[in-house]
Amino acid sequence: MKKTLLTESALVKLKFEYDELIEKRHQISDEIKRARGFGDLSENAEYHAAREAQSHNETEILKLKEILENYELVQGSFDKNSITIGSKIKIKYIDLDELEEVEIVTKIESDPLNSKISNESPIGSVLMGKKKGDKVEALTPNGVVKLEVIEIL
């Protein structure tokens, strides 16, 4: 099984989320008990909503537990010469002649709307290890994107 790469901050965030879900488990259990008291379960909307919430919560707990049991801690080396996890870079979309600053992060920390792209994403994966001036092509869901590394910040 492939290990999930995590930075120290991602690990702290996941442990916090896991603890919150465990606490929420108790709250949902109380909601189910309360809803059972409303009578006929076949037409009890509160009961069905609580059971749905319980199912979703347990699924999330299992996902996080699997990650927390099988991860590899990565340290941002911040090499100014090549792109690694933690690198902030300026890239140029060659076909569009547009510049963008992005940060390469783990998949747990990715947030494309805030210019944080995963090292496992189509663009992030082709940028890993590249140097200033390198040109790459990434196969994305929207087609091939041609990029040039302008600067490693």
DSSP 8-state assignment for residue 76: -
* Class of the CATH domain delimited by 88-152: alpha beta
CATH 3.10.50.30 in the chain is located at 88-152
Which band of pLDDT confidence, cut at 50, 70 and 90, is reported for residue 76? low
Residue 39 has pLDDT above 80, yes or no: no
- Number of helical H runs and strand E runs in the chain: 3, 7
Which of 90, 54, 61, 64 is closest to 4 using CA atoms? 64
Higher pLDDT, residue 40 or 99: 99
CATH 1.10.287.180 in the chain is located at 4-73
Higher pLDDT, residue 26 or 41: 26
pLDDT given at position 77: 59
Instruction: Average the pLDDT over 2-22 and give the result.
Output: 91
Instruction: Average the pLDDT over 25-49 and give the result.
Output: 83
- Record: fold of 4-73: Helix Hairpins (1.10.287)
* pLDDT tens-place string over residues 89-139: 999 999 999 999 999 999 889 999 999 999 999 999 999 999 999 999 999
Residue 40 has pLDDT above 80, yes or no: no
